[in-house]
Structure 1
Amino acid sequence: MSKHFETHRPLLMGDRFMITADHPLAVQAAASVLEAGGNAMDAAICANLVLTVVRPHMSGMGGDLFALVYKSDTGAFEALNASGRAPARATLEFFKEKGYDKMPEYGILTSTVPGAVMGWHSALERHGTMGLDKLLARAIDYAEKGFGVYTDLRKAMIDRRSKLEESQAAMDTFIPQGKVPEVGSILYQPTLAKSYRLLADMGPDAFYNGPLGRALVEYSDQLGGLFSEEDLAAHRVNWVDPLKTGYRGYEICTQPPNSQGLALLLQANMLDTFDISGLKPDSAELIHLMVEAKKLAFADRNAYVCDPEFNEIPLDKLLDKELARDQAGKINPDQAAPQPELRRFTTGGDDTVYLAVVDEDGNAVSLIQSIYEAFGSCVMVPDSAMVLHNRGRGFSLDPDHPNCLAPGKRPYHTLHPAMILKDGKPAYVLGSPGADGQTQTVIQMTTAMLDFGADPQQAMEAPRWRAEPDGTLLMEGRFPAETVKALEQKGHKVKVLDDWDEVMGSSQAIRINENGLKMGGADPRRQAYGICR
């Protein structure tokens, strides 16, 4: 195997279950659920709940959630969309009158109705065996008794301090006594523990029809926000069919719009027209091909991805294999194409958590949850510790754009969980945080595993690239110098990063082989870990 696939962490293998998540405490909590007889969904929600406590800058009950779920007993395979909608008063005219020509980056006006709480409830009600009351116990414990502050959490506190200072509740929680906690100090969140006890007692009604929701509306009114109790009570999740395309005898599956998952499949369709297995995995030829496919895919993503309840999206045409061949034919193997024009499309939001679970019965969950950017809107609702996301940044204020803001509309989302099926059953469960980088990371992992025979840990640790909206090609420093030089000669604006850079995501993957063995691991670039049995 090429040095490209050398690893520092071992490949995990277990014949019972496997769980990976973006923090070791979440992994351990989820494993305890599986050991106690819970299923993959129980474990996934438990892990997510713990992540909202120990990764508060990336996830929380003030955010949104997407998941892919496979049930082994019935073969059912479906996608959960638990993203929230814009308040009824969130009109284009309101923002124009306020002087905005694009969505603000922070503050109360950047948040849509948080969907995560209803997502947790609906996922457990439909596919779990345990309730929120039991699964919240570990999260409540870490909120009340605290956990150790780690480097990237402290960095997020420092980076967002000026915004957090506008929310006294956030300051009291994350920067107590006006001092950013040191690495190794203990972060306590007693108010969050109190709120989670309400969720344990009342279920989602604690938020959508109860005291947590009323606190949000009251604080929104104080800040000049747009939320109403009617907006919260009207929230609903959607269970839909996953989006799929064929690749090398497998099916790559992801979340349909309003998620950007479409871009993953568009890239896969174009790459499927080439025989790339004969190329070196760290070669300029392969990277150039994949970057150019990404540009074409993202141009269609930017033009079409929106809430399908408001605009028809021609998914069948976009995913047509003949179109993919036409698109692939536009790629010049010797020259980088100009960056497609951006259409006032926000591209931030690297702060997300991902997790994957496969249980002993073969049930599988691929789940991703986020408050978008670090600490989201940087608004914490007093007396609830709810940090609101700023996912409203995904809207456009261009009235001609299909993703234009409208009351009751869901914004464009970067979030997209993934699975790869073989003969209708999960062969790989995978995903990554990383905003615009999410589909780029997942397609790199997919080609590594399906085209070059890498195992999941090798695919995750391989040097990674990320093509930015401004045309810059970010590359980790482990790529060969001759590869960087050749890409520059093709016209790419290369920026070489450190050998391991967290901007490249926090990928995770589990492979289920033919005899049911689970093989997987987690990305060392952030805090991700895995446990198996």
Structure 2
Amino acid sequence: MRHCLVLVAAVLLSLPAAAADRITGHMFATRSEVIAPTAMAATSHPLATQIALDILKAGGSAVDAAIAANAALGLMEPTGSGIGGDLFAIVWDPQTQRLHGYNGSGRSPRSLTREWFIENGHDAIPSHGPLPVTVPGAVDGWFALHDRFGRLPMRQVLAPTIRYAREGHPVHETIAHYWARSVPRLSAFPGFSAQFTIDGRAPRKGKLWRNPNLANTLETIARRGRDAFYKGEIAQRIGAFFAAHGGFLSAEDLAAHEGEWVDPVSTNYRGHDVWELPPNGQGIAALQILNLLEPYDLRSFGFGSVEHLHLFTEAKKLAFEDRARWYADPAFHPAPVERLVSKEYARERGALISMDRAARSVEAGNPALQQGDTIYLATADTSGMMVSLIQSNYRGMGSGMAPDGLGFILQDRGEQFVLRADHPNTYAPGKRPFHTIIPGFITRDGKPWVSFGVMGGAMQPQGHAQIVINLVDFDMNLQEAGDAPRIHHDGSTEPAGQALAMNDGGVLELESGFRPEVIRELMRKGHVVRSADGPFGGYQAIARDHENGVWIGASESRKDGHAAGW
């Protein structure tokens, strides 16, 4: 019976993703690429994109535009972002001709211990409420990026969002959908219903939404700077709120917060340098997947072929076992990053891939022995600066804990900690949890090419690798690379929580657009294939066309997104 249901799902999955008779020849693209001579912005909300463009037209840098758009998304898309969450970014600096990375993730409360969880009957950290809350790093990230690369005053950068927060903006369709899903599970938490519902309900599509509390908070930050959030009245109010509601996050935790400039890590995939940030994020899993696939001629197999889907899934399984074993806060558990992303290590691990059968279980490698919902946006400016930025509250709207009168929800990223003492991601005071959000970047011959990201939990490194493959192996344009049907493998061993190791091969979820005969052959190889509703991520990208001197933008057809330039 199970196989019959899977086969029905396979037939449904075979429906075409887009018309094959488009005159451009790009059968998967839902729209043309956006092309502009001066600057470009791509975000998951049309109004946020317009705000970014306004900042660019006013003389702002790509970083100014990214901060302005991120602030807007915290207001307009609170289902995936906000100043109660963390931030990661990669910036191409045309002055130094190099990439700069920023890890804006926050740490666990210093007064909360692993022993407290165990003594109080917890075998895992709760998903919502006060206990999974960690220090929010987004505002610190804004100011760190702005101090180095900003041109306009922060007051001007945040002014558009403050205005929309007071005057209102219409809620878009996808956001309204996720907001409505969040309200039932978060309404019981302090401050949520009063600040994020209308008479106890989520705002419907097209409804004007106002958040005057957030407007006041952003005005304070704009006037008084970073320390207004981490050391001033806002920090005191956050600390008092959690003390009153059974939490541990304190004003002292906020005051101690520091983000970190980091060097991005890369691998070369068929002449293209693909860049990610090192752990505590999961970005290098995308590099490991690409290294494992590079020996295979995916171009000759063709997009959507049995070989393409099978090899990708098997490479993902191997990379994700290392992800579960090695990725953690390097201050507590340094990962052998250089070895993990090396070609030699990929050759060793790649020997485990069978072309004939799907692996039911794999073990993490031992590189040390060899070595001695979320938002994504991209911006680019007239100087050639490019920004790849991702920001999240985790689990959509985060913990549900919304401090009175401040207009934002705190993240629940601490759920990613583990309570086993021997685990790399075991809980410890003042520790950064494993992070899913990752910005991506591609360079060619030392020049910037594509700033991109694919938001969405464990889909992110899978999505990053698929975008690179679509661009490089299958010659898709920037829009088509994001709109082509995606692969999502679920069931690998996780780096967080109490999940058991994969022992059944997991489940291969395929988006609409793959042929039924391909799906049947995958099943013969031992893959369990099923349809799924929405785990395939959200994509934005900007590319530099050096030959023509223009910018190219693309936006996700699965979200409310918008790319625009001038």
TM-score, length of structure 1 as denominator length: 0.95
1:213-252 alignment, distance < 5 Å: 213-252=235-274
CA distance in 1 between counterparts of 2:350 and 2:298 reads: 13
Report the Cα offset of residue 2 of structure 1: 10
| Residue equivalent to 2:215 | 193
Greater displacement, 509-518 / 91-100: 509-518
Query: Per-residue CA shift, 1:424-475, capped at 9, x if unaligned?
Result: 2211111011110011111111001011111110101101110012611111
Report the Cα offset of residue 152 of structure 1: 2.9
CA distance in 1 between counterparts of 2:380 and 2:317 reads: 33
CA distance in 2 between counterparts of 1:532 and 1:61 reads: 26
Q: Percent identity?
A: 39
Retained in 1: the 8 A contact 2:417–2:433? Answer: yes
Query: Per-residue CA shift, 1:336-367, capped at 9, x if unaligned?
Result: 1014589xxxxxxxx10000112121111100
Name the amino acid aligned to 1:15: P
| Residue equivalent to 1:348 | none
| Residue equivalent to 2:346 | 324
Retained in 1: the 8 A contact 2:180–2:201? Answer: no
| Residue equivalent to 1:39 | 61
Match of 2:144 among 122, 138, 142: 122
Secondary structure of the residue aligned to 2:299 is coil
1:76-475 alignment, distance < 5 Å: 76-340=98-362, 351-469=373-491, 471-475=506-510
Report the Cα offset of residue 315 of structure 1: 1.1
Retained in 1: the 8 A contact 2:491–2:507? Answer: yes
Secondary structure of the residue aligned to 2:82 is coil
| Residue equivalent to 1:503 | 535
CA distance in 2 between counterparts of 1:137 and 1:300 reads: 44
Retained in 2: the 8 A contact 1:157–1:174? Answer: no
Secondary structure of the residue aligned to 2:509 is strand
Match of 2:512 among 455, 477, 482: 477
Secondary structure of the residue aligned to 1:160 is helix
Report the Cα offset of residue 167 of structure 1: 3.0
Change (3 A) 1:364 1:180: closer
Asked if 1:493 is matched to 2:525, the reply is no
CA distance in 1 between counterparts of 2:534 and 2:165 reads: 26
Secondary structure of the residue aligned to 1:193 is helix
Greater displacement, 468-477 / 284-293: 468-477
Report the Cα offset of residue 141 of structure 1: 1.1
Asked if 1:512 is matched to 2:544, the reply is yes
Retained in 2: the 8 A contact 1:20–1:508? Answer: yes
Report the Cα offset of residue 242 of structure 1: 0.2
CA distance in 2 between counterparts of 1:365 and 1:236 reads: 21
Name the amino acid aligned to 1:503: P
CA distance in 2 between counterparts of 1:158 and 1:35 reads: 35
CA distance in 1 between counterparts of 2:553 and 2:299 reads: 22
Report the Cα offset of residue 14 of structure 1: 1.5
Query: Per-residue CA shift, 1:179-210, capped at 9, x if unaligned?
Result: 33222211111111111111111111111111
Asked if 1:525 is matched to 2:549, the reply is no
Secondary structure of the residue aligned to 2:298 is coil
Retained in 1: the 8 A contact 2:107–2:432? Answer: yes
- Count of aligned residue pairs for this structure pair: 522
CA distance in 2 between counterparts of 1:215 and 1:486 reads: 58
Retained in 2: the 8 A contact 1:173–1:188? Answer: no
TM-score, length of structure 2 as denominator length: 0.90
Change (3 A) 1:2 1:335: farther
Retained in 1: the 8 A contact 2:183–2:201? Answer: no
| Residue equivalent to 2:4 | none
Retained in 2: the 8 A contact 1:65–1:115? Answer: yes
Unaligned runs of 5+ in 1: 343-350
Retained in 2: the 8 A contact 1:259–1:305? Answer: yes
Name the amino acid aligned to 2:527: H
CA distance in 1 between counterparts of 2:27 and 2:419 reads: 44
Name the amino acid aligned to 2:378: A
Give me the CA root mean square deviation: 1.6
Report the Cα offset of residue 527 of structure 1: 1.2
CA distance in 2 between counterparts of 1:376 and 1:341 reads: 32
CA distance in 1 between counterparts of 2:62 and 2:225 reads: 20
Query: Per-residue CA shift, 1:222-259, capped at 9, x if unaligned?
Result: 11111222211110010010011111111110111000
Name the amino acid aligned to 1:411: P
Report the Cα offset of residue 15 of structure 1: 2.0
| Residue equivalent to 2:3 | none
CA distance in 2 between counterparts of 1:511 and 1:492 reads: 35
Unaligned runs of 5+ in 2: 1-17, 21-25, 365-372, 493-505
| Residue equivalent to 1:347 | none
CA distance in 2 between counterparts of 1:73 and 1:357 reads: 17
Retained in 2: the 8 A contact 1:5–1:461? Answer: no
Retained in 1: the 8 A contact 2:128–2:412? Answer: yes
